[in-house]
Structure formats: structure tokens, C-alpha cells
Amino acid sequence: MANERTFSIIKPDATRRNLTGKINAVFEGAGLRIVAQKRIWMSREMAKTFYAVHAERPFYNDLVDFMCSGPVVVQVLEGENAVAKNRELMGATNPANAAEGTIRKLFAESIEANSVHGSDSPENAAIEIAYFFAGCEIVG
């Protein structure tokens, strides 16, 4: 698989516990490069738009509240097979089911406060990257 980009968020539970560096060390240690990065506080509208795909799910309102409960770090990761590699490094959505050594197993607090987001396909990665970053902010 050619060089690829994916979108990553370090969620409020992780920034609150000062885990940005520890989480990014996992990405960098696995060969992913951080080619864009910024710390932002999402508005409710941004969080609602970002997770709109889950709008009908019972956890949606709580998820939106959580995502704007503190700062997040939004970033673009680049590397071979970056979308799948990031998902593998993150581990299962529910930390109780996450494999040993994954970010969610190491750091997540709960199925909601699970420390990281990662795009689930190259198509969604392109959409999510364009939502948060201008082309000139991504420096490979």
C-alpha cells in the first residue's frame, strides 16, 4: 500500500490527563509521521457535525458533550497503510475489548472516553482532514 494519510484526534480525556506525548510516541514508534497538528476546543456544532454519522445512536448527545468538554489535538498521520495502521494502534472502541499494547488498552477510561479517534477509511480520512486543515497546514 502506498503512502497514505489519516486523521487522528487525541480526545479530551487524554489531553486532561496530559497524555498527548505518550500517545504520539506510539504513532511515531510505529512509523507514522505527524504531518499536521493543532490543539483546539471543539464547539458543539463542530462535534455534532464530526460525529453526524452517529446522530441516531443513543450515545450521540453524550458523545457530543464529551468531545467539547475540553481541548483536543487534531492531527494528520502519514505513512504506509496509515488508515489501517492507526486503527490497529488505537485498538477496539471499548477498551475492555482492546488488545494488549494498543492505545485504548493502555489509556482509555471507558467506551466513550476512549482517548483517540481515527478515520475508518481513506475516503473518510480525506473528508475529515479537509474539515480541520487547510492544505498549507499539512507539511509532509
C-alpha dihedral (133, 112, 41, 86), degrees to nearest 10: -30
* Binding mask of the shown chain, residues 53 to 72, with x at each position contacting ligand ATP by CB under 6 A: -x----x---x---------
The position carrying cell 473518510 is: 124
Nearest approach, Cβ of 11 to ligand ATP (angstroms)?
Answer: 7
C-beta atoms surrounding 115 within 10 Å: 25
The answer to whether residue 54 is catalytic is no
Closest to ligand ATP by CB, 81 or 135 = 81
Rounded CA gap, 90 and 97, in Å? 12
Interface of this chain with ligand ATP, residues 88 to 127, rule: CB under 6 A: 93, 111-112, 114, 117-118, 120
Q: Which three cell numbers stand for residue 94?
A: 471499548
Binding site for ligand ATP (CB under 6 A): 54, 59, 63, 93, 111-112, 114, 117-118, 120
